[in-house]
Amino acid sequence: MYMETLEVLFGSVIFVVVFFGLYFLPSFIAFRREHSNKTAILALNIFLGWTVLGWVGSLVWSLTNQER
């Protein structure tokens, strides 16, 4: 019984880490690429990332080329 509880807990932690990693992927990309609109991309990702359109929009925006 103790091992089952530990396995469920470990599986839950892995799921949460992977979920948030994927959820904030556009923001990670924007900050890594030092995108000029990284704060706006983060805000879009936080507030509308739960919708598929908001997440895809922030991902595309984070991958756009920027003029320097």
Residue 2 has a pLDDT of: 76
In this structure, is the dihedral angle defined by the CA atoms of residues 46, 51, 53 and 56, taken in order, positive or negative? positive
Helices 2-23 and 25-32, axial angle in degrees (round to 10): 50
Count helices and strands (H / E) in the chain.
Answer: 4, 0
* 3-class SS of residue 15: helix
What is the tens place of the pLDDT at every residue in 10-56?
A: 999 999 999 999 999 999 999 999 999 999 999 999 999 999 999 99
Categorize the per-residue pLDDT at 68 as very low, low, confident or very high, splitting at 50, 70 and 90: low
Report the pLDDT value the prediction gives residue 1, as an integer from 0 to 100: 78
Helices 25-32 and 52-63, axial angle in degrees (round to 10)? 10
Tell me the two tokens of residue 67. 């003029």
